[in-house]
Structures are given as structure tokens and as C-alpha cells.
Chain A
């Protein structure tokens, strides 16, 4: 049987890769993928904890996260398309209409 710590380590590594990708990538779609990676790493750790603790709460939260992530993806891509119609770029460095 795989011990809990392996799952938690996997989830921590995935989350870190996601954070790194979010901060270092320059392409909006890849940033979006990094976000999904972060959410899925949380799902892994929640399911692992849920199994280890023998409580259903974690798995219930996972279902909510998957649902909300789908809604989030729909809204995020819609915003991206609305953006792309006015300024056809998906490079982060060119999104600098406002300084910040």
C-alpha cells in the first residue's frame, strides 16, 4: 500500500510546479493550465487525506472543486475571448494597457 506521505509529497510538488508555471509562463493558455494543475494537486491531497482519515468530507469537497473549476474555465475562456477580440495577443507581456 502506498503511504499517505507519498500522495502529499506528490500534491505539494504538483502545486509548486503549478505556482512556478503561473509565475514564469508568458502565454495565457499555459498560465491557465498551471492554474488547473494547482487545483488538481489539491484534489489529490484531499482524496488522499479523505482515504487516510476515513471521512467523506474531503471527497465531497473534491466534487465541488471539479464543478467550480469547470465553471471557472468557462468564464475564464470567455473573458479571454472577449479580450482577444480587442487586442489579438495572448502574450502576458503585451497586456500592459494599465501599468501595474
Chain B
């Protein structure tokens, strides 16, 4: 390969290279610098540089297929990268003070967040199942460690252990699916699989179908779709809260990115077959998430089940099987990130030395002492329920509309019904905050970075709720381009 071409291909993965280099710098910096704030700021600066690189590539380039068809740079992957960057910045902002309270403020923490995100970016840009697998493992291995980062706490150890075993189990399924697909089509390239399916006339082949099911199962594990959601509540409860926020957005978005790409580009001709799997999964996911959340008393566990239910709603856009459907899913993911990280930021602000602040009772009468934080929590809870004028309503509105447009009226009805069920457990927190008397005094931990994250997420939840067209048009033009 000639030098100019090689350099050109390297510029295409500049954002990923930047994040990896910054991650390595953070590991070295950790030896020299005592203050973790410095490391966090360098991490955020590195993310901004990567964001700038992605922006430059987005402005100047047509969709590119580089590294012998392994890596694709298009609007779809660029939009997912935007989600990942915002996720890093918000996560770092909410974790600074929190990890000090947990006495686990290691420099590796920030480096691992960057490495995990690089894995997600490779997943979003994967044009080949090999690079998809490698990106998924880079993401997964880093998040296993992050989940168990509070080494002294048995709960955190247990979360990491469970996440590791079930995550490794799901990647074995992914590999088996890849090997079956490879055996039948003779290629691992996502686009060429679609060509081979047509030219070899094996669209109805049961082994191809089996391979696709195995892959859907593996993605379902990462997204936490029922019945593959068993790990999620335990891991979300045990992991550090900031990492729970990170995990409930990043790997989920990356899972949807690869699911959308593989199902739409490789198995586009098999839409009837994958819908026969995904429709029951979506219904079960929404039902399980909404109903079991009713019984939870730990807010992190409740938000875990809520994130399962939201994954079910997002799946409706994929089931629709059109570009508009995919648009609504990606739009939902962006909105979900703001409201979910915001809710976790409020949960984090209750944590202080010697007080967990994770039980629902801890929220009793919060509004009397801390009206601002309560009001923010109210916004996030309304948004998660899907009440206008918050962004959550817009997200739900578009996925349900796409379900109706694609002829799945019953799915829309089920989604709306369970949305009403979910109002119970979201609004219960609001009720606890505003209508009950406090059992004990709760003092909040606050820091400027946490306040910044809260301000950004609240602002975005409200702005995207009032002016939804901006985000929607951005998503639509990204996916089309």
C-alpha cells in the first residue's frame, strides 16, 4: 500500500487514535499527578479533541470505507460517536467527587472510560464482523473492570463477577453466530453478507437464520433485552453509580448501533425473520422492565429495570425496519442519555460519607430541604415517564409513531399501556419527595462538576422536549448521509 493512501486511512480513525492516546497519557499522568481533577480535565480535553476530529471528518468527507472494507465512516457512525463523547464528558463530571467519597479515585478509572468508549466507537464504525467483535470486547473488558472498581466493597466485586461471566457468555454466542454466518456466506464483511445471501439464494436457509439469532442474542445481552436482562439489575446496583450511568447509556447505544447495522445492512432481506424474533422480545422487555420495577425499593435497581423497559421501546424503531424507524431509535437513545444520566446524577448527589442514599425512603421529603435538586429529579422522572413537554415524550412519541406507520398497531398499544404502568414507579419518587415528611435529614453532596452535569442534562431534557425538530433533523440527515 502506498504511503499517501495509508495516511489517508489513518486520518479516518483519528478520533479513535486520539482517545487511545489520551487514555495512555492518563495512565502515565496518574503516576506523576496527585490531583485527580487534573486527570479528569485532561480526559475531557482529549474527548473534545476527538469530538473536533469527528466533526472535521463529518464535514469534509463522503461515507468512507477504509482498511480493506473493515472500517466505515458514515453519518450513522458519526452520530453514535457524538452520543459516546457526550456520555464520557457527563460521566467524568458526575464521577469526580463521587469516586473520592467511595475512596476509589484511581487514575485508571478515567483511562478505562476512554478505552471502553473507543471500543464503542469501533463497534459503531464496524463494517466487518471481525472489527465488530474486537470493538465489543474492548468495550466489554473495560467495563467489567469499571464495574468492580470499588475493590473493598463486596457488592461491587459481585457486580463485576456477574457482568464478566454473562458478558463472556454472550460474546461466545456472538462468535458462534459469526462463524455460522461466515460458513454459509463465505465472508465476514457486513455489506458482502447481504450480497452473498442474494447471490447464493440462502435467504431462507435455517442455518443463516440460526446464525442471525445467535447474534441477536449476543446484542440483546449488551442492550439488556429480556430474557437476556438477568445481569442488569445486579450489575447496575453493585457497580459505582457513575459507572452505572455510563453503562446504561454507552454499551446500550453501541449495542443498538451494531444491531441496526447488522440487521439492516447484512440481513435486510430477512426482515420478516428477524421481526419474528424481535417482536416477542420487545413485548417481553417492555413488560418485564415496567412490571418488576414496581417492586423495587433500591433506586439504582429501579432505574436498571427502567433502562430495560426503555431498551424495549427503542427496539420498536428497529422492528419498523425503515430508515425512519432507525432514526426514531437513535433519537430516543440521545434523549435517553440525557434523562438517564441526569437521574443518576441526582442519585449521586445523595451519596455522602457513611450514607448510601439509594433507598426510596431516602427521598422522603427531599423537596422541603432541597427544592432545586427535587425539582430536577421531578423533570427527569417526568421525562422518563414520557410526559410532555420533556424530551422523554418526544422520544417515545416517535418510536411509537414508527411502530404504527410500519403496521404494528398492537405493539404501539402495548407500549403505551406499559408506559402508563411505568408512571407508577417514576411518579412514586416524585410523590415521596413532595408529599411525605422527611424521616431523617439528608444533606447533599455537591460539586461544581456535578452541578454542571445536572445543568446540562436538565437543559437538554427541556430544550429537546420543546424544540424536538433540531435533533430529529440532525439524526435524519446523519443516517441518510
Give chain B nearest CB distance to A69 CB in angstroms: 9
**Interface size counted on chain B using CB atoms at 8 A:** 41
A18/B165 in contact, CB under 8 A: no
Contact string, A71-91, partner B, CB cutoff 8 A, digits 1/0? 110011011101101110000
B175/A39 in contact, CB under 8 A: yes
Instruction: Please give, as numbers and ranges, the residues of chain B lying within 8 Å of A57 by CB-CB distance.
Output: 130, 182, 187-188
A42 within 8 A of B: yes
State which residues 148-181 of B face A: CB under 8 Å.
148, 151-155, 157-162, 164-165, 168-169, 172, 175-176, 178-180
Known contacts A31-B165, A75-B144, A83-B157: A64-B130 contact under CB 8 Å:
yes
A97 to B157, CA, bound (A): 10
A75 to B140, CA, bound (A): 11
Give chain B nearest CB distance to A49 CB in angstroms: 4
Instruction: Tally the A-B contacts, defined by beta carbons under 8 Å.
Output: 123
A100/B233 in contact, CB under 8 A: yes
**Interface size counted on chain A using CB atoms at 8 A:** 43
A82/B160 in contact, CB under 8 A: yes
A60/B186 in contact, CB under 8 A: no
A86/B179 in contact, CB under 8 A: no
- The main secondary structure of chain A at its interface with chain B is helix
B176/A15 in contact, CB under 8 A: yes
A79/B175 in contact, CB under 8 A: no
A63 to B386, CA, bound (A): 47
B172/A39 in contact, CB under 8 A: yes
Known contacts A42-B176, A46-B179, A100-B234: A83-B158 contact under CB 8 Å:
yes
Among A42, A46, A80, A98, max chain B CB count under 10 A is at A98
B312 within 8 A of A: no
Q: List 27 A-B contacts (CB under 8 A).
A: A11-B179, A28-B165, A35-B168, A46-B182, A53-B183, A57-B130, A57-B187, A58-B179, A61-B133, A61-B188, A64-B130, A64-B133, A72-B168, A75-B144, A76-B165, A76-B168, A78-B145, A79-B145, A79-B148, A82-B148, A83-B158, A83-B160, A86-B154, A87-B157, A98-B233, A98-B234, A100-B230
The 10 A-B pairs of least Cβ separation, nearest first, read A49-B183, A38-B172, A100-B234, A83-B157, A42-B175, A86-B154, A98-B234, A45-B179, A79-B160, A68-B137
A interface, CB within 8 angstroms of B: 8, 11, 15, 18, 22, 28, 31-32, 35, 38-39, 41-42, 45-46, 49, 52-53, 55, 57-58, 60-61, 64-65, 68, 71-72, 75-76, 78-80, 82-83, 85-87, 95, 97-100
Q: A68-B134, A83-B160 are in contact. List 18 more A-B contacts (CB 8 A).
A: A15-B176, A35-B165, A35-B168, A35-B169, A53-B183, A61-B182, A64-B134, A65-B133, A71-B137, A75-B141, A76-B165, A82-B148, A87-B154, A97-B155, A97-B158, A98-B155, A99-B234, A100-B230
